[in-house]
Amino acid sequence: MKTFEELGVAAPILKAIQELGYESPMPVQEEVIPYLLGDDNDVIALAETGMGKTAAYGIPVLQKIDISVYQPQALVLSPTRELCLQIADDLNDYSKYIDHLRVLPVYGGSSIESQIKTLKRGVHVVVATPGRLLDLMNRKTVDLSMVKNVILDEADEMLNMGFIESIDAILAEVPANRNMLLFSATMPQGIAGLTKKYMNSPKEIVIGKKNEGNKNIRDIYFMVRAQDKYLALKRIVDYYPNIYGIVFCRTRKETQEIADNLIKDGYNADSLHGELSQAQRDYVMQKFRIRNLQILVATDVAARGLDVNDLTHVINYGLPDEIELYTHRRGRTGRAGKTGVSIAICHIKEKGKIREIERVINKKFEKGSIPNGHDICEKQLFNLVDEIEKVQVNEEEIATLMPQIFRKLEWLDKEDIIKRIVSLEFNRMIDYYKDADEIEQVDEHEVRNRDRDLNKNGNRDRNGSKSYDAEKGYSRFFFNFGKTDGLNPNMLIEMINKCVPGKVRVGRIDLHDSFSFFEVEESQADRVTKLMNGFEVDGRKISVEPAQANRSESSNRNRDGRRGNKFAGKRQERDNDRHYGRAPRNTDRNNASFKKRDSDSQRKKRF
Helix H or strand E encompassing 45: strand 43-46
Average pLDDT over residues 584-607: 37
Helix H or strand E encompassing 475: strand 474-479
The answer to whether position 603 is within a domain reads no
Average pLDDT over residues 537-546: 83
C-alpha angle 60/61/63, rounded to 5°? Answer: 60
The answer to whether position 588 is within a domain reads no
**DSSP bridge partners of 343:** 220, 315
The answer to whether position 452 is within a domain reads no
The answer to whether position 6 is within a domain reads no
Q: Pick the last residue of a domain from 352, 367, 382.
A: 367
Identify the domain containing residue 271 by its residue range.
217-367
User: Dmax over Cα atoms in the chain, in whole Å?
Assistant: 93
The amino acid at 419: K
Give the integer Cα–Cα distance in Å for 158 and 167.
9
CATH number at residue 141: 3.40.50.300
Among residues of the chain, what percentage have pLDDT more than 90? 27
How many Cβ atoms are within 10 Å of 605's Cβ, its own excluded? 14
Q: Are residues 528 and 498 in the same domain?
A: yes
Q: Are residues 225 and 142 in the same domain?
A: no
Q: Is residue 59 within 8 Å of residue 5, measured between CB atoms?
A: no
Give the integer Cα–Cα distance in Å for 582 and 543.
7
Q: Are residues 29 and 136 in the same domain?
A: yes
Q: Are residues 360 and 384 in the same domain?
A: no
By the 10 Å C-beta count (0-12 exposed, 13-18 middle, 19+ buried), 371 is classed as: buried
Give the integer Cα–Cα distance in Å for 583 and 541.
9
467-494 pLDDT tens trace: 456 777 889 998 988 888 888 887 888 8
- 445: confidence class by pLDDT, cuts 50, 70, 90: low
Torsion sign, CA atoms 349, 355, 356, 360: positive
Q: Are residues 18 and 113 in the same domain?
A: yes
DSSP 509: E
Backbone angles phi, psi at 276, to 5 degrees: -75, 150
The answer to whether position 454 is within a domain reads no
Left if phi > 0, otherwise alpha if psi is -120 to 50, otherwise beta: which for 310?
Answer: left
The answer to whether position 607 is within a domain reads no
Name the residue among 360, 319, 81, 47 with its Cα closest to residue 205. Answer: 47
Give the integer Cα–Cα distance in Å for 287 and 258.
18
The pTM of the whole model exceeds 0.85: no
Q: Are residues 307 and 341 in the same domain?
A: yes
| Structural domains of the chain, count | 4
Q: Are residues 315 and 413 in the same domain?
A: no
Give the integer Cα–Cα distance in Å for 383 and 27.
36
DSSP 62: H
355-399 pLDDT tens trace: 888 888 888 899 998 888 888 888 888 888 888 888 888 888 888
14-50 pLDDT tens trace: 999 999 888 888 888 888 898 888 776 788 888 766 6
Q: Are residues 363 and 404 in the same domain?
A: no
DSSP 297: E
104-146 pLDDT tens trace: 999 887 889 999 999 999 999 999 999 999 999 999 999 999 9
Q: Are residues 325 and 295 in the same domain?
A: yes
Q: Are residues 38 and 147 in the same domain?
A: yes
The answer to whether position 533 is within a domain reads yes
Q: Is residue 440 within 8 Å of residue 369, measured between CB atoms?
A: no
CATH number at residue 559: 3.30.70.330
Q: Pick the last residue of a domain from 435, 456, 483.
A: 435
Helix H or strand E encompassing 222: strand 217-223
Answer yes or no: is pLDDT of 272 > 80: yes
The amino acid at 252: R
Helix extents (H) in 208-322: 229-239, 252-264, 278-289, 300-303
Helix extents (H) in 412-562: 414-435, 444-456, 489-499, 525-532, 553-557
How do 340-346 and 217-223 pair as beta strands? parallel
The answer to whether position 444 is within a domain reads no
Among residues of the chain, what percentage have pLDDT more than 70? 80
The amino acid at 412: L
Q: Are residues 92 and 224 in the same domain?
A: no
CA gyration radius, the chain: 29
Q: Are residues 161 and 238 in the same domain?
A: no
Name the residue among 234, 287, 209, 33 with its Cα closest to residue 24. Answer: 33
